[in-house]
Amino acid sequence: MPVMTIQTEDGPVTAFICGGRRPKLCSFCHHGEVTRLCDFKKAGGKTCDAGMCDGCATNVGAGMDYCPTHKYSKPLQASLFGGAQ
């Protein structure tokens, strides 16, 4: 629980703030709030799922975003340059 000092009419009061969750921060820049998960396909039909902000995500198609680690992966390069995936 976060502890916060607030100013009241009677002076400062230290209180525990309950109920709120801190937003998850981007795994890459550590500043932006996570709004997307990496859609890079991995073995076994799973995806990378790294949490990233809008600024660190690279859109590679309809509803598909790659993290900075997978941004220049072979499937993306092939699609950009007209090759087979």
- Give, in order, the Cα–Cα distances in Å from 1 to each of 4, 5, 30, 41, 53: 10, 13, 21, 37, 25
Note if the pTM is more than 0.75: no
Q: List pLDDT tens digits, range 66-75.
A: 999 999 886 6
pLDDT of residue 9: 84
- The 3-state DSSP class for residue 1 equals coil
| Predicted pLDDT of residue 61 | 85
pLDDT (0 to 100) of residue 36: 96
Reduced to 3 states (helix: H, G, I; strand: E, B; else coil), residue 74 is helix
> Residue 83: what pLDDT?
53
pLDDT in tens, 19-78: 667 789 999 999 999 999 999 998 888 999 999 999 999 998 888 999 999 998 866 555
